[in-house]
């Protein structure tokens, strides 16, 4: 396959970037999208040019590192998949592929297609955990858990924190991510102990990072590689209202 690539190039966070056009030839339809970029980078290195920077790690759809906005869609032309798992056969031979970084004030570009997603880490640090005092290991089946709840928690926990929800949202809102992280704990007894503080702190941090506000458009759900559901956002709002109205006044 021969392709024309329009790729966002930006030296560092300070410089002004722009699109550059590249041509790649004889790409196997069975190559992955990132392998195609590897091939391009090999050529650039041979020519003595700077290779294109892009995040990636596991290349099997589980780590959430890869983050490319391809032809107007985060993670490219397929649904429920990360870009590292997309194969070149999903593209037409001879077509033009436009590759951009995630665009959000809260995700500043580090270089080329690589953005700084540490805002997500800070949201998790604000409360996306449970505090466990060490001691003897409790029996796994000691606490009864409703199977449906356990499944919902598991589905929410499938979020890999890639940021595609922010990238696709017309408001660059992080509500789907934050709500998945709130939900995976709020649904389980171990998580409920700190739930009231958690939701308030995580929402506060989310706002502080400068993400937009949710308008219930649903693009995030449609584009999420792990198919995280909008119901999580409703659950987070429910948790938030409950905490604001019902919990004692607390310093966040």
Partner 1 sequence: MSNYTLHYSSITKKIIMSLVGLFLITFLFLHLGINLTLLEKFRPGGSTDTFNIAAHFMGTNIVIKVFEVVLFGGFLIHILFGLILQIQNWMARPARYKIEGWSHTSPFSKFMIHTGALIFIFLVIHLLDFYFKAKVFGDIGSVTIDGKEYHDMGALVLAKFQSIGFVIFYVVLFIFLGFHLHHAFQSAFQTLGLNHSKYTPFIKGLSTIISIILPVGYAIIPLVIYFNS
For partner 1, the binding residues (CB under 8 A) are: 6, 8, 19, 69, 71-73, 98, 100, 103-106, 168, 170-173, 203-204, 206-219, 221-223, 230-231, 233-241, 244
Give the strand pairing for 96-100 and 114-115.
Answer: unpaired
Q: For residue 205, what are the contacts with CB-CB under 8 A and spacing of at least 6?
A: 122, 123, 125, 126, 127
* Contact between residue 3 and residue 94 where contact means Cβ atoms under 8 Å apart: yes
Handedness of CA 24, 87, 167, 202 (dihedral sign): negative
Shortest separation between residue 227's beta carbon and ligand FES, angstroms? 14
Shortest Å distance, C-beta 200 to ligand HEM: 19
Inter-residue contact 160 to 67 (CB < 8 Å):
no
Q: How far is the CB of 243 from ligand HEM (least distance, A)?
A: 19
Q: How far is the CB of 64 from ligand FES (least distance, A)?
A: 5
Residue 170 in the binding site for ligand HEM (CB under 6 A): no
Which residues, in sequence order, are bridge partners of residue 8?
19
Write down the least CB distance from residue 6 to partner 1, Å.
7
Closest CA to 97 of 202, 156, 172, 19: 19
Kind plus residue range of the DSSP H or E element containing 40: helix 33-46
The residue from 79, 118, 125, 213 that contacts ligand HEM (CB under 6 A) is 213
From partner 1, ligand HEM, ligand FES, none, interface partner of 170 (C-beta below 5 to 8 A by class): partner 1
Q: Which residues bind ligand FES (CB under 6 A)?
A: 56-59, 61-66, 82, 84
Q: What is the DSSP letter of 249?
A: P
Nearer to ligand HEM, 134 or 216 (CB): 216
Q: Which residues pair with 4 in a beta bridge?
A: 23, 96
Q: Is 216 near ligand HEM (CB under 6 A)?
A: yes
Binding site for ligand HEM (CB under 6 A): 213, 215-216
């Amino acid at each position: 396959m021969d392709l024309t690539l329009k790729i966002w190039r930006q030296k560092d966070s300070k410089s002004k970037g722009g699109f550059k056009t590249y041509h790649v030839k004889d790409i196997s339809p069975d190559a992955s999208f990132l392998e195609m970029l590897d091939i391009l980078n090999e050529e650039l290195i041979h020519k003595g040019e700077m290779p294109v920077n892009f995040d990636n790690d596991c290349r099997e759809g589980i780590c959430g590192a890869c983050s490319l906005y391809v032809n107007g869609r985060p993670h490219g032309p397929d649904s429920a998949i990360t870009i590292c798992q997309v194969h070149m056969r999903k593209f037409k031979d001879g077509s033009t592929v436009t590759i951009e970084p995630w665009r959000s004030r809260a995700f500043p570009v580090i270089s080329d297609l690589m953005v700084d997603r540490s805002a997500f880490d800070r949201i998790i640090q604000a409360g996306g955990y449970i505090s466990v005092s060490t001691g003897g290991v409790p029996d796994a089946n000691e606490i009864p858990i409703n199977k449906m709840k356990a499944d919902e928690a598991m589905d929410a926990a499938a979020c890999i924190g890639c940021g595609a929800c922010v990238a696709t949202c017309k408001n660059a809102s992080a509500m789907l991510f934050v709500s998945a992280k709130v939900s995976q704990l709020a649904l389980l007894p171990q998580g409920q102990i700190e739930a009231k503080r958690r939701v308030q702190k995580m929402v506060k941090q989310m706002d502080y990072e400068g993400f937009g506000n949710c308008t219930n458009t649903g693009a995030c759900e449609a584009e999420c590689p792990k198919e995280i559901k909008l119901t999580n956002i409703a659950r987070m709002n429910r948790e938030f209202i409950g905490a604001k109205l019902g919990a004692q006044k607390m310093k966040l």
